Chains A and B, each alone.
Chain A
Amino acid sequence: MATPRTHSAAPPSLWDPVVRITHWGIAVSVLFNAALDEGGSLFHVSLGWLVMALLLLRVVWGVLGPREARFSAFPPNPVAALRHLGQLASGKVRHYPSHNPAGAMMVYAFWACLALVTVTGLVMTGGATPMQVAEEKAAVASGDWSALIKKSDGESSEAEDNSLRHTAEEVHEVVANLLLILAALHVIGVFVESRAMRRNLVAPMVLGQRRK
């Protein structure tokens, strides 16, 4: 009979559409929000909510999705990640069925930062949905400035609220910059890994290799 083929030794030749859509959706949104639009603008807040939705979908997909998209396929393991980087330096690399251990650590670092950025963003806007932000801005534009006055129980809680928002703002900015640094490292990592493994790691995240 036919020899049984093992598919487990190599990463997928094409990631499933949920992984690809969430990956590129988040990548584009983060770059856009970091570089091109104004913090606190309606567009910035909307993209933030989009990132939150994509992140949530990816996390649920990490539990319910196909095998290589599940967290169990790439558990966070710093020791294995370091070992993998060591192998990479010596030129001998193993192939993994999902993300390699170093890539997996990068994925979790991204998710932690994205979660932190969205949560601090929500604190800064007081949890206002883009619809509410738009209404507020429309009200202010039409001369009704009462929308700017925050409802609060008393002076002390308002001060507390402000300090919380201030902290959130600091964290938001620091983590956003961290995200950009991670993105740069990620791109370098993909490049180095592609050369060491002699396989194109970008194609599976785009459309896969065209079969003849």
Chain B
Amino acid sequence: MTVFPDIQTAGRRQTAALSIFLVVQTLGTVFFVGDVIGDLRADPLSVHFIFEAVVTSALVLGILFGIFALRRTIELLRAQDQALAVARGALSDVIDRQFQAWALTPAERDVGFLALKGLDVAEIAEMRGAAQGTVRAQLTRIYSKAGVSGRAQFAAFFVEDLLGAAVPEAQAA
């Protein structure tokens, strides 16, 4: 859970830095172009003007490349964001359906979700305004309906689906 916000923040910082750089670059180029146009009016065939014109076109090209790079970074960040949202939605769909298949009651579903999120019994009890004994009993019923030995196996049930065939491959290697 803490990994994704960090990637997002880093991406944001990167795009912000790129943008500021782009603004400074544009500002410098505009001044330079202004200067070159002044030279053009003075003497269009001087070596000075030709040299400056080449430098200016290089600057303009640099800005265009910078703009392309920035747009790609922004679109990449958005794609990651979207993929993450889809994955989140998909996972909660899977959990929902599995809870239904186990015939959990609405209260048990809530407790099950909170347990999957990593909250301990005391925290769940506090959030739901229930006694710790009630929550413990609900968890026990959930585990028995799911046919798992305890919390670790309960959480692993869903993580296993996400990991797919990674375990045998890792063993082979």
Which A residues are closer than 8 A to B by beta carbons?
1-5, 7, 16-18, 21-22, 25, 49-50, 52-54, 56-57, 60-61, 64-66, 127-132, 211
A53 touching B27, Cβ below 8 Å: yes
**A49/B89 contact (C-beta < 8 A), A64-B71, A65-B67 known:** no
Q: Which residue of A lies closest to B13 (CB)?
A: A17
Main secondary structure on chain A at its contact with chain B? helix
CA distance A7 to B37 in the complex (A): 45
Instruction: Known A-B contacts: A21-B20, A60-B64, A64-B71. Give 19 more (CB < 8 A).
Output: A2-B89, A3-B89, A4-B86, A5-B85, A7-B82, A16-B15, A16-B19, A18-B19, A18-B23, A22-B23, A49-B27, A49-B30, A49-B34, A53-B26, A57-B26, A65-B71, A66-B75, A66-B78, A130-B31
Interface size on B, residues (CB 8 A): 33
CA distance A52 to B26 in the complex (A): 10
Count of A-B contacts judged by CB separation below 8 Å: 78
User: In the complex, what residues of B have CB within 8 A of residue A16's CB?
Assistant: 15, 19, 74
A1 contact from B29, B37, B90, Cβ within 8 A: B90
B37 touching A211, Cβ below 8 Å: no
Q: Which residue of A lies closest to B15 (CB)?
A: A17
Chain B contacts with A in 138-161, Cβ cutoff 8 A: none
List the 5 shortest-distance A-B pairs measured between CB atoms, nearest first: A17-B19, A2-B89, A2-B90, A53-B30, A129-B34
Task: Say yes or no for B68: interface residue by CB 8 A criterion.
Answer: yes
> Closest Cβ of chain A: how far from B112's Cβ, in Å?
20
User: In the complex, what residues of A have CB within 8 A of residue B18's CB?
Assistant: 17
Chain B contacts with A in 39-59, Cβ cutoff 8 A: none
B35 touching A66, Cβ below 8 Å: no
> Closest Cβ of chain B: how far from A210's Cβ, in Å?
11
CA distance A14 to B93 in the complex (A): 28
User: In the complex, what residues of B have CB within 8 A of residue A3's CB?
Assistant: 89
